[in-house]
Amino acid sequence: MRRKNEMGRWCRGLALSILLLSLGACGEIFPKRTTGEKLYRKHCADCHGIGGDGHTISSMGDPDANLLDDRWKHPADAAGMASVIRQGLVFEHPTFDSLSREEVNQIVGHVFSLRGETPQ
């Protein structure tokens, strides 16, 4: 019985150690998200996907939801993206006029980072 208690204590200690080490590494595994990424996740990811590829249930079959390809109906520069985010597109994209200019610019910056580019 004593050996079983020692083994259980050892296993709990090992599990706790692994958990603490995992939490300590969270900053590297899950780096701090930028404001642009947080805003993108809140306002854009449902349709465009976390990674921007557009593979979501709500956008299934809509090739325009993919932000990573070069098939854009509207200008893919920073000003064009900002305009679509703020003003929307009839029957295509919702309006996010409640976002500040800075918030929109942060989202645009995040989209460029998803594409591996810098804002133009």
pLDDT in tens, 4-44: 566 667 667 666 667 655 655 555 556 689 999 999 999 99
Q: Name which of 48, 42, 54 is nearest 104 in CA terms.
A: 42
Nearby residues of 79 by Cβ (< 8 Å), 6 or more positions away: none
pTM (2 d.p.): 0.71
Mean pLDDT value across the chain: 82
pLDDT of residue 32: 87
pLDDT of residue 105: 96
Q: Identify the residue with better confidence: 77 or 9.
A: 77
Residue 21 and residue 120: Cα distance in Å, rounded? 41
CA 42 to chain centre: 8
